[in-house]
């Protein structure tokens, strides 16, 4: 009890306890701090890697990637060295620590800005915006991180883990500052830069406090100790004022938004409506409320009524903008659903009837196509060649078409010059050529029959024939008729193997088979080579 009641006794007891329990190898700690805070290639490389990873994590809004950047950040070394040099009044170490920090800051800003400039993602993410409005809580995070970092450094326990906490307060704000500079957004760069400087000073001075507690700088003069105390207190006070104001504004905004949301929801429930979107902003002292309201009926006076209610509660000017979206009531919705169900059933019935009709039509079409295929099969074989530009129709004997009829069929199927159908008649006796009595002159009918014969020979691919003339046994007349036909064929590049006259017996046999007119005909037949 005596220790607690006498301040001087309490102070002596604390000094004795600190001397007994806080013994450390100060020279070893100082050497370790100097080494960890030295400027070198490893420090520069790790700064670039850490800030690069942090920038990518911020652009992707990925907390996991940002944490990865904190794990490799080397910023703890020069900051602890800066705080320790303030505790021991080692100006040389202070200059070295500041130099290391300046180089690290410049490298971080450079790599962050470079990544942002070449990245297609340049919109501020929530992780970026979260580091542009520092408040008093950020200062407390920095103080606790600095105290933990100094304790870990002095006791040589858990430095890596504590380094992550310090990097949490420094590396992401530094990367956000580089982002703001790259995109030309002064608000983002300024807010993040202020957060970085706040955290830097708070951590360094927290290290100074912890170092003094462990006895570093115990040989300082009272004037130096007073200077240190004044510097620490003044810095914390200067940092606390704007950060405290920022925290108060954030709390006020949160309270105002909750009040606005509660008031709007209550008013919407009374009108059987619902608030779907709400945005609350500040313009000087005026609170601007923008909301979307789903309502079954128009609410022309709700905005004014809400403004009056909110001004009474918040004690400041409020402007409410309501965007109303009219919706049907439940009864109307039920009627619409019933109508829609009936319409859907009607559509389904129509679709079923259409499918049945289509199936019947399809069956009829298939039946007709089958009949057409059978009819085509009885007429012959139809082949399409030359990529559809030509067709070849091989007539069967069942088609019953003689040579003139087959030729007329081919002529009737001419569509255009690009598409042709070639009709090949069934192999059969060629038409007989009729002459006038006692005549060997080819008339028009005979020449027409010869044209049919020439066409059939071309389709059958024959170019050699035999010609046999008939005149009832008159050899001279029969030979003259055969020669006239042979001459006509030779003029058209058909080889005549033999042009002969039939004797009386052959003519009589033909007359018996073909009738009396066969006495004045000429027969043409293909000849093999």
Low-confidence residues in the chain, pLDDT < 70: 1-30, 32, 36, 135, 153, 156-169, 214-254, 283-284, 326-337, 340, 363-365, 367-380, 385-389, 415-419, 529
Is the CB of residue 430 less than 8 Å from the CB of residue 456?
yes
Max Cα separation, the chain? 171
State the CATH number of the domain containing residue 251. 3.30.300.20
Residue 11 lies in a domain: yes
Q: Single out the residue of 196, 226, 194, 195 nearest to residue 212, CA to CA.
A: 226
Residue 509 lies in a domain: yes
Strand partners of residue 424: 394
> Quick one: 199 and 227 in the same domain?
no
* Rounded-to-integer distance, Cα 486 and Cα 199, Å: 120
User: Does an H or E element contain 301, and which?
Assistant: none
Last residue of a domain, one of 262, 294, 327: 327
Last residue of a domain, one of 216, 251, 276: 216
Phi, psi of 274, deg, nearest 5 = -150, 135
User: What's the pLDDT at 3?
Assistant: 45
CATH number at residue 123: 1.20.1080
Asked whether residue 85 is domain-assigned, the answer is yes
Place of tokens 């507690």: 213
Same domain, residue pair 139 and 287? no
| Nearby residues of 425 by Cβ (< 8 Å), 6 or more positions away | 395, 401, 402, 403, 406, 407, 456, 459, 460
- CATH number of the CATH domain containing 460: 3.30.1330.60
Regarding whether 261 and 149 lie in a shared domain, the answer is: no
Asked if residue 201 belongs to a domain, the reply is yes
- CA nearest 404: which of 477, 455, 349, 458? 455
**Cβ(481)–Cβ(489) below 8 Å:** no
Same-domain status, 81 and 196: yes
Q: State how far the Cα of 433 lies from the Cα of 445, in Å rounded to an integer.
A: 8
Round to whole Å and give the CA distance between 77 and 84.
11
167 plus 261 within the same structural domain? no
User: Do 131 and 65 sit in the same domain of this protein?
Assistant: yes
CB atoms within 10 A of CB 410: 17
φ, ψ at 227 (rounded to 5°): -65, -40
* Of the residues 276, 292, 327, the one at which a domain ends: 327
User: Could you give the number of structural domains in the chain?
Assistant: 3
- Helical spans, DSSP H, in 6-62: 7-21, 26-36, 41-60
Provide the residue range defining the domain that includes 503: 433-526
Q: How far is CA 272 from CA 277, 305, 334, 411, in A?
A: 16, 16, 17, 83
Return the axis-axis angle of helices 91-118 and 76-88, rounded to nearest 10°. Answer: 160
Same domain, 468 and 496: yes
Which pLDDT value is given to residue 2? 44
Q: Do 179 and 292 fall into the same domain?
A: no
Residue 409 lies in a domain: no
Examine the domain organization and report whether 116 and 138 are in the same domain. yes
Domain assignment of residue 145, yes or no: yes
DSSP strand pairing (380-385 vs 318-326): unpaired
pTM over 0.75: no
N- to C-terminal Cα separation, the chain: 145
- Write out the two tokens for 394: 């091989």
DSSP state of 501: E
Distance CA 55, CA 297 (A): 50
**Same domain, yes or no, for 194 and 232?**
no
């Amino acid at each position: 009890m005596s220790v607690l009641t006498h301040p001087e006794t309490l102070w002596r007891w604390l000094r004795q306890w600190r001397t007994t329990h806080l013994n450390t190898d100060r020279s070893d700690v100082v050497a370790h701090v100097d080494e960890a805070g030295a400027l070198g290639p490893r420090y520069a490389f790790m700064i670039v890697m850490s800030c690069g990873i942090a920038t990518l994590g911020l652009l992707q809004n990925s907390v996991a990637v940002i944490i990865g950047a904190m794990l490799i950040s080397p910023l703890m070394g020069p900051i602890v060295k800066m705080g320790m040099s303030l505790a021991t009044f080692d100006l040389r170490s202070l200059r070295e620590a500041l130099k290391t920090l300046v180089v690290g800051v410049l490298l971080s800003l450079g790599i962050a800005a470079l990544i942002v400039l070449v990245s297609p993602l340049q919109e501020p993410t929530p992780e970026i915006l979260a580091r542009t409005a520092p408040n008093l809580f950020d200062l407390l995070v920095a103080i606790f991180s600095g105290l933990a970092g100094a304790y870990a450094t002095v006791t040589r326990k858990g430095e890596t883990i504590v380094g992550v906490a310090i990097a949490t307060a420094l590396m992401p704000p530094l990367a956000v500052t580089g982002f703001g500079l790259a995109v030309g957004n002064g608000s983002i760069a300024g807010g993040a830069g202020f957060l970085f400087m706040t955290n830097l000073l708070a951590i360094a001075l927290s290290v100074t406090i912890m170092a003094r507690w462990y006895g570093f700088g115990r040989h300082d003069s009272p004037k130096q100790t007073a200077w240190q105390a004044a510097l620490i207190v003044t810095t914390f006070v200067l940092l606390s004022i704007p950060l405290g104001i920022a925290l108060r504004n954030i709390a006020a905004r949160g309270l105002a938004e909750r009040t606005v949301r509660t008031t709007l929801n209550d008013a919407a429930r009374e009108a059987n409506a619902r608030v779907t979107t709400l945005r609350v902003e500040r313009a000087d002292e005026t609170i601007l409320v923008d909301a979307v309201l789903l309502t079954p009926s128009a609410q022309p006076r709700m905005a004014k009524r809400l403004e009056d209610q909110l001004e009474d509660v918040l004690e400041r000017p409020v402007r409410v903008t309501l965007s109303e979206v009219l919706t049907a009531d439940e009864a109307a919705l039920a009627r619409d659903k019933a109508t829609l169900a009936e319409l859907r059933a009607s559509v389904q019935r129509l679709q079923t009837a259409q499918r049945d009709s289509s199936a019947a039509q399809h069956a009829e079409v298939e039946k007709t196509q089958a009949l057409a295929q059978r009819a085509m099969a009885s007429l012959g074989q139809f082949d399409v060649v030359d990529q559809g530009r030509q067709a070849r129709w091989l007539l069967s004997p069942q088609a019953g078409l003689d040579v003139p009829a087959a030729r007329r069929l081919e002529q009737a199927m001419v569509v255009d010059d690009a598409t042709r159908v070639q009709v090949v008649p069934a192999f059969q006796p060629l038409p007989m050529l009729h002459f006038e009595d006692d005549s060997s002159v080819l008339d028009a009918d005979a020449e027409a029959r010869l044209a049919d014969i020439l066409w059939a020979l071309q389709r059958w691919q024959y170019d050699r024939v035999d010609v046999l003339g008939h005149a009832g046994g008159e050899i001279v007349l029969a030979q003259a008729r055969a020669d006239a036909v042979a001459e006509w064929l030779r003029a058209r590049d058909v080889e005549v193997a033999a042009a002969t006259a039939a004797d009386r017996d052959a003519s009589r046999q033909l007359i018996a088979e073909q009738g009396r007119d066969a006495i004045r005909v000429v027969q043409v037949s293909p000849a093999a080579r």
